[in-house]
Amino acid sequence: MNDCLALKVTDLDNVATIFANGVKDGAQVDVHDKKGNSEIIKVIGDVPYGHKIAVKPIRKGELIIKYGEEIGAATRDIEKGEYVHVHNLEALRGRGDL
């Protein structure tokens, strides 16, 4: 059994939230969805507890979907398993131009 767990909450999500401490680059994370499916994904980058990884490749400009909500857009191509945060995600909320 893998001690590193991540959850993909909706079918629309292209990221999953990590629920484990000390997830380091190259670690294997067990990603579960609400249907009970799971997939082992190799992590790219160190990922803090509660942060997210891509569950599929995400192209530059593509929306980032977490918990079924659009939380931002990719500022560059993101690989499956890669840590998704402010270094590769631009928030769309609160900008005042939308």
Strands annotated E in 3-77: 5-8, 15-18, 28-33, 38-42, 52-54, 63-66, 69-74
- Given this model, what pLDDT does residue 94 score? 63
- Domain residue extents for the chain: 5-91
13 pLDDT higher than 90? yes
Q: What is the mean pLDDT of residues 67-75?
A: 95
Instruction: List the structure tokens of 61.
Output: 């400009």
Q: Identify the CATH number of the domain defined by range 5-91.
A: 2.30.130.110
Give percent of the chain above pLDDT 90: 88
**22-57 pLDDT per residue, tens:** 999 999 999 999 999 999 999 999 999 999 999 999
- Given this model, what pLDDT does residue 1 score? 43
In which element (H, E) is residue 84 found? strand 83-84
- Given this model, what pLDDT does residue 97 score? 52
* Residue pair 68/74 in contact by the 8 Å Cβ criterion: no
List CB contacts of 57: < 8 A, sequence separation 6 or more. 77, 78, 79, 80
- Given this model, what pLDDT does residue 95 score? 56
Mean of all residue pLDDT scores within the chain? 92
